[in-house]
Amino acid sequence: MLVSVGGGGLIAGNAAWFEQRARVVALEPELAPTLFQARAAGQPVDVAVSGIAADSLGARRIGAIAWEVTQRHVKDALLLPDEAIRAAQRWLWTELRLAVEPAAALGVAALQTGAYVPRDGEKICLILCGANMDPASLG
């Protein structure tokens, strides 16, 4: 399961539910690396956030509960550039007519860029939504 991370609630809930029965991978924009920086520091830290998905993934610090759960159940955390996120968002619209917010496009961006390469026979799960998006940006 490829999950976009902001404050950590969504990934913590999914990771806790799966409890190692599925691989849960954290995805963050390079310009909003809340979990990634916490992992580098060994604890939650404040980070500067900006970029294409800042309105939905722009938490300055990973939540305490999310931090604890991700430490136990999430082994991989990947960063993706804004350009790849925007390209994935446009691809979803052009090819599938799915209008999704930038935060939801991270899973597709990870697959398209090769940041995440599925193992043989692995099934991939993505969460796609569109509440924080301007339809004019898809043109």
Domains of the chain by range and CATH? Answer: 2-138 (3.40.50.1100)
Give the per-residue pLDDT at 137. Answer: 72
Provide, rounded to the nearest whole percent, the portion of the chain with pLDDT above 70.
94
What is the residue-averaged pLDDT of the chain? 92
Residues 84, 4: Cα–Cα separation, whole Å: 14
For residue 130, pLDDT over 70 is answered with no
Residues 115, 139: Cα–Cα separation, whole Å: 26
Q: What is the pTM of this model?
A: 0.91
Nearest residue to 127 via CA among 14, 8, 12: 14
Give one DSSP letter per residue of 116-130, joined into a string: S-PPTT----B----
Residues 20, 61: Cα–Cα separation, whole Å: 25
27-82 pLDDT, tens digit per residue, is 999 999 999 999 999 999 999 999 998 888 889 999 999 999 999 999 999 999 99
Lowest-confidence region among 4-13, 52-61, 128-137: 128-137
Give the per-residue pLDDT at 139. Answer: 66
